[in-house]
Structure formats: structure tokens, C-alpha cells
Amino acid sequence: MPKSFIAVLDHEHLENSIFLTSFARSLAKHGDRKGIIVHGDSPYTDRLIQTGMMREDARLRAIKDLNKRLIGLFADQGVATIGIHGFQKGLIKKEANDINLDMDALNDFHKAPNLLISNLVEENGESVHVPLTDFTRSLSESLTETEILIFSKNEKDDILISETDMKLSWSDISNEFAEASLPKEFHDFGYPLKMTTATDFANWPNLKKVTHIR
């Protein structure tokens, strides 16, 4: 049984206040079980661009603002969470095509049960964003006994049955299934993960509505 999880708040879900509240409520039911929550930007980036900001500046601003807003949302549900960015204290560095995690820094940060990390990482002394999928996969590869959880686009997803009944390979994914359920960023992920709903996340690790994709 995995000891921990990487729960991914994708681009579209970060704009969904009902989903985020449901996710926070589920997280509150985990007690002291440790987990990592990751996020990138949201459609908020596009709204900042419309005010005249350059895209990369808007994206960096959106990610930083979202990190603070999520911490506040979790606190409203009684969830103790530490919010950080990947570039802080050399936690995650991008070097050439590699994204490297400093485990000592991670352990220093992970004092509270939940750690919220944005996909802003350090590269040559600067903070830059990396795609959420690359960021998530690199974390998973660095951490043992940790599984990736993403969330269906449909909270009442009847396609999600149980861990034993619903296992797919990435090559089995139909366009219809992807469009109905998979967050767009993860359509071509190609790496093991579990997809569930914000409500069923409360039952982790004994998820009742889940699709395991390998």
C-alpha cells in the first residue's frame, strides 16, 4: 500500500471552486496521513495577459497567487498545509532536460501532513515554470511508494468503478474517455497514475471510484 500520494490540481480544476472545496474537505479527512499536492497555473493567467502582462510574467504571477489562495482555502477547512514553490531553498532544480529533487530540502519542508508545491523551479538561479506533467512525473520518480492521483473532469464519473475493475493502459484510452474524464494536460501522460474524484479522495488509499492507468 503506498505510503503517500502526489495529488495533481490541473489547469482546469484550479478554476473550479466547487471542485476545490470538495478536494479540501476530503483532504481534511486524511488526518495526519502525509501527502503532496502539486499545481501549476490556471485560466487566471489568460486574464492577467488581457491586462497587458507578458505571458511568462502572467504565468509566474498566477502560480504564486494560486499557491497563497489554495493555502487559505485549505485552512478554511481546517487543513494544515505548507505552501511553497519548487525553486525555494533549491528544492527542485532544472538542469538541461532533467528536473532534480533535493530530498533533504523536501524533508525540511514537509513538517505538516500536507505540502503544496507549485511547478516553479530553479534554473541557473532563476525561477521558471516547467510543464505540470513533467513536474509531476519527476517527483514521482524521485519518491518511493508514492502514487500520482489526478481528478476526473466529471465529479460523478460513473466510468470510475473500482481499482480492481477499471485498469487501463495508455494505449487503451479512447478519445471519448479522454474528453469526458481526463484532464487535458494528461491526455498523453504515458506514466502510471490513478484517476479519481474529489469526493472519493477522502477514502484514500482505499478509493472506491478510481481508474488505474498504466
The alpha-carbon radius of gyration of the chain (Å, integer) is 16
DSSP of 140-195, one letter per residue?
Answer: HHHSTTEEEEEE-SSTT-TT---TTT-EE-GGG--HHHHHHHS-GGGTT--S-EEE
- pLDDT of 111: 81
> What's the number of CA atoms in the CB half-sphere (13 Å) around residue 61?
15
**Residue 7: strand, helix, or coil:** strand
Per residue of the chain (214 residues), give pLDDT as tens.
Answer: 457 999 999 999 999 999 999 999 999 999 888 899 999 999 999 999 999 999 999 999 999 999 999 999 999 999 989 999 999 999 999 998 899 999 999 999 988 789 999 999 999 999 999 999 999 999 999 998 899 999 999 887 766 765 445 688 999 898 998 998 999 999 999 999 999 999 999 999 999 889 999 9
Dist CA 94 CA 135 (whole Å): 10
Dist CA 24 CA 15 (whole Å): 14
How far does CA 84 lie from the centroid of its chain?
13
Domain enclosing residue 30, as ranges: 4-213
Dist CA 187 CA 38 (whole Å): 18
Dist CA 201 CA 26 (whole Å): 6
- pLDDT of 32: 84
Extract the C-alpha cell encoding 27. Answer: 483532504
What total of structural domains would you count in the chain? Answer: 1
Threshold 0.85, pTM exceeds: yes
Dist CA 100 CA 90 (whole Å): 10
- pLDDT of 33: 85
What order of strands is seen across the sheet that includes strand 211-213?
81-85, 114-118, 35-39, 4-9, 146-151, 193-196, 211-213, 167-168
Q: Which CATH number fits the domain that encloses residue 23?
A: 3.40.1160.10
For residue 174, with 0-12 CB atoms within 10 Å meaning exposed, 13-18 middle and 19 or more buried, which class applies? exposed
Dist CA 132 CA 184 (whole Å): 11
- pLDDT of 161: 61
Dist CA 46 CA 52 (whole Å): 10
